[in-house]
Amino acid sequence: MHVLKFGGTSLGSAAAMKNVKEIVQKYLVKQRLIIVASAMGGTTDLLIEAGRKAAEQNEQYKEILKKIEVLHLETIKELFPIQDQRHILSFTKSLCNELEDLVNGIFMLNELSTRTLDRLMSFGELMSSRILAALFALDSKHSIWKDARAFIKTNDQYGNAAIDFTTTNRRLKELLLEDAHLIIIPGFIGSGPDQSTTTLGRGGSDYTAAIVAAGVDADIMEIWTDVSGIMTADPRWVSNAKPIPAISYKEAMELSHFGAKVIYPPTIQPVLNKNIPVWIKNTFSPSDPGTIIHNESSGGNETIKGISSIHDIALLSLEGSGMVGIPGFSKRLFEALAQEKINVILITQSSSEHSICVAVASSSAEKAMLAIDEAFEREIALGIIDPLFIEKELSIVALVGENMKSHPGISGKMFGTFGRNGINVRAIAQGSSERNISAVISTDDVRKAVNVLHEEFFETSFKQINLFIAGVGNVGKRLLAQIKQQHVFLMEHLRVQIHVVGLINSRKMVFTEEGIKGNWEEQLEQGEDAHLDIFVDRIVSRNLRNTVFVDVTAHDEVANTYASFLQKSIAVVACNKIAAASAYANYAHLKFLAREYNTKFLFETNVGAGLPVIGTLNDLLRSGDDILKIEAVLSGTLNYVFNHYDGSRKFSEVVKQAQDEGYTEPDPRLDLSGTDVARKIMILARESGEKIEIDSIENISFLPPSCMKGSVADFYVELEKHETHFRTLYDEAVAKKNKLKFVATYSKGKASVGLQHINEQHDFYHLYGKDNIVRFTTNRYPDQPLVVKGAGAGADVTASGVFADILRSIG
Ligand code: ADP
Ligand code: ASP
Ligand code: MG
């Protein structure tokens, strides 16, 4: 005998039911079968809703009932040839009438008892199983429908009735005597001591199948559902979840207990007792191997079989000195909960015995609080125990695997992963069987937690970065192009996949959780109007794993958002210099946040574009070197100007040409005044450990003060007037065979910027085009300084520096 259970989606439409029939017909020839049917997908929820609405005097219940009726009648019309419809149609209609009478009664009485609710919920399975039975009866005389209430006997705990196994098993043995090859029964329902209808808990058709399988000593029980087996994580959350080929009963129990909805938790026990294998199969892809649940764990190398999670958890903490060393304390606590029939999902007790924490469903938190406060009334009054403390909006995430007991380091890896992703753990429990480790975390973090754990334990080969980019100007555009171009390389060589999840410019913004694919420019154009605060809120609230915020703007309002990311453990990569060059306290605070929340604040491109300047400096310091001096030429604009100015053309003309060729800011004075260079040397000084502000950097400007006044046009006029000044600067340098370079220096706590004469022996002499150069004189490089030199401006190199920071930011 085989027992097959088909779930709600598997019976959710006429097409699905036909599919089921085909699957079953493959077996019919060879086997006797019992088929357990769930309600058509969604029906149980609708029945409950109708009942609640009626009890609340809301007449909308009628529409809901109509919906249920239409679903079933339409399914019949689609499934059966016209000449065969009559009987099952009228039967279903009479069930619908009965259902309507029942709900009208609820409406009139203004009351929905748990007993009536069970009766109400039973209609889903009653209707679907009847339709299925009629479908099989079309071509088989050996198929019959049986009412589960005749043999699944329970107590009267409506909504979650407990099985009377003695009577049930006896009646199931009688069921075997039926002269039928195929027996179809409704799942989920049973009958209580007074014959009233009871139900076995939501999702309980799985349990019906297991009870029946055990009662008839089936060879195998099959659960046909809408996924190809038990997956390594809930596939609705983790796109890379994959089916687990084989799993032990105990592992399956733990996974379902901790929220893997694919099997209803009590299901395993009856089949485990009889050692009946359970096969989870996909109705919509029957040739997929599915998952086999049996006596042993599949061995293999995997230590972790799956990850699951439960939501709507409340954590109850009882604390106080009165608990220390007094035996029977936890007993009283659990008795108080048991008396109220509150299911304890997880327990932790501190080794000092000073506190005990239990996790229960949020819906029972208030009841639990009353029960516990009452049980410990005396101790609370004496002040030796604090009143119960409740935290809500929590979830539990559990790692499950039989083999973890022989593998040290699993919990280290689990909590390390949480730490790196800013996920705060409120309580931890490890089953003494060492078959699971579970952690209570905030519900806001649970999706991220499941994903990062999945990545860590099942996709070691592959990590996803979720990127949000502010600014899509020259650098932003190049960055997006580079990310696209490197896609395959990153997957193959670094096992990294970058999803650009959000983009914002000054006008528009766009979000796509799966990552923006195709033409981002079009998608941004069609996006919502830009609101930076909304953009920031979404990044934080989406709480995706490995999130990186990239700022390729030059706006201070964007720079002001960094703290809100860092304190959520979201990495920040800034091309924008404003934050690193702002007041020291702000810079230091951002660095502190990055350390404190285990994330990265990177801004390599603030100095020398894509050149490894800050990275080199950090490496020197981290490895114990001391910085004695930094000298640098850091302005592409000033290089350009002094490389092109040789007296043959006016200084103002050269500056104009630099501007026309895009080497300067819209107001060239920002570059020529040395302000930008001063910010860069300040950032290097700060990275070297100096508490330095912009005012304390000496700026020996070569621009006559009058050039700094008025508009850009006035500035050019003024430049022309001072041609002799510039000519003199040039001639003096040439006379000594020197070149003019605008040099930034930092040494012994002091920084300065200004024009210098550079002779031919100097590293800075041969510096052309947009090149930047930085010389680090250190303890380890005292005579021959360490030199970093190369293009220090340009969209492509800057974008590649940002790109490198992005990859660095996720470690
Ligand atoms: P049925 O109606 O067939 O009983 P359920 O909806 O009760 O189906 O259970 C199947 C669903 O369980 C899947 O569609 C999936 O969304 C969810 N699920 C949650 N965790 C897991 C998991 N670890 N493996 C497979 N499915 C899971
Ligand atoms: N129909 C019931 C429910 O939705 C039982 C089941 O589908 O297993 O909970
Ligand atoms: Mg189910």
Residue of 197 and 382 predicted with greater confidence: 197
- 99 SS3 class: helix
For residue 38, the CA-to-ligand 2 centroid distance in Å is 6
- Residue 463 pLDDT greater than 90, yes or no: no
Burial class (CB in 10 A: 0-12, 13-18, 19+), 54: buried
Assigned token pair, 754: 């200004």
The predicted model scores a pTM of 0.73
Query: What rounded mean pLDDT belongs to the chain?
Result: 93
CA of 240 to the centre of ligand 3 (A): 22
124 Cα nearest atom in ligand 2: 1
Condensed to tens digits (0 to 9), the pLDDT of residues 254-283 reads 999 988 999 999 999 999 999 999 999 999
Identify the residues whose C-beta falls under 6 Å from ligand 2: 7-8, 38-39, 44, 124, 187-188, 202-206
Atom of ligand 1 nearest to the CA of 255: 23
Ion ligand 3 neighbours, Cβ < 5 Å: 203
* pLDDT tens readout for residues 66-105: 999 999 999 999 999 999 999 999 999 999 999 999 999 9
Residue 794 has pLDDT above 90, yes or no: no
Which of 262, 263, 288 is the best mutation target for the ligand 1 pocket, counting ligand atoms within 8 Å of the beta carbon and taking the most? Answer: 262
Q: Taking the mean position of all CA atoms in its chain, how far away is CA 514?
A: 12
Ligand 3 centroid from CA 680, angstroms: 61
For 171, the enclosing helix (H) or strand (E) is helix 165-175
- Residue range 336-363: average pLDDT? 85
Asked if residue 276 lies in contact with residue 292, where contact means CB atoms within 8 angstroms, the answer is: no
Q: Which atom of ligand 2 is nearest to the CA of 207?
A: 8
Q: At residue 345, does pLDDT exceed 90?
A: no
| DSSP code for 326 | -
Of 64, 85, 83, nearest to 75 by C-alpha is: 85
Length of the chain, please? 811
Q: What is the pLDDT of residues 277-308, one digit of tens each?
A: 999 999 999 999 999 999 876 655 678 899 99
Mean pLDDT in residue range 55-62: 96
CA 750 centroid distance within chain? 46
> Is the sign of the CA dihedral 108, 110, 116, 120 positive or negative?
positive
Catalytic hit among 448, 680, 741, 770: 680
Looking at 517-676, which runs of residues are DSSP E strands? 528-529, 547-551, 571-574, 601-602, 627-633
Residue with tokens 């220090």: 792
Q: Which residues on neighbouring strands pair with residue 220, listed in sequence order?
A: 2
- The residue whose CA has the least distance to atom 5 of ligand 2 is 203
Atom number, ligand 1, closest to the C-alpha of residue 244: 24
Residue 560's pLDDT is what?
Answer: 98
User: How far is it, in rounded angstroms, from Cα 263 to Cα 86?
Assistant: 36
Assess contact for 400 and 304: CB atoms under 8 A.
yes
Question: How many angstroms separate the alpha carbon of residue 134 from the centre of ligand 2?
Answer: 21
Show the ligand 1 pocket: residues with CB < 6 angstroms.
7-10, 38, 203, 225-227, 230-231, 233-236, 260-262, 306, 308
Q: What are phi and psi of 387, to 5 degrees?
A: -60, 150
> How many CB atoms within 10 Å of residue 40?
26
Distance in Å, CA 99 to ligand 3 centroid: 23
Per-residue pLDDT tens digits for 718-761: 999 999 999 999 999 999 999 999 999 999 999 999 999 999 99
pLDDT above 70: residue 353: no
Flag whether pLDDT at 408 surpasses 80: no
Q: How far is the CA of 575 from the centre of ligand 2 (A)?
A: 54
The mean pLDDT value for 629-651 works out to 92
Atom of ligand 1 nearest to the CA of 7: 3
Lowest mean pLDDT among 432-441, 497-506, 745-754: 432-441
Q: Is 736 a catalytic residue?
A: no
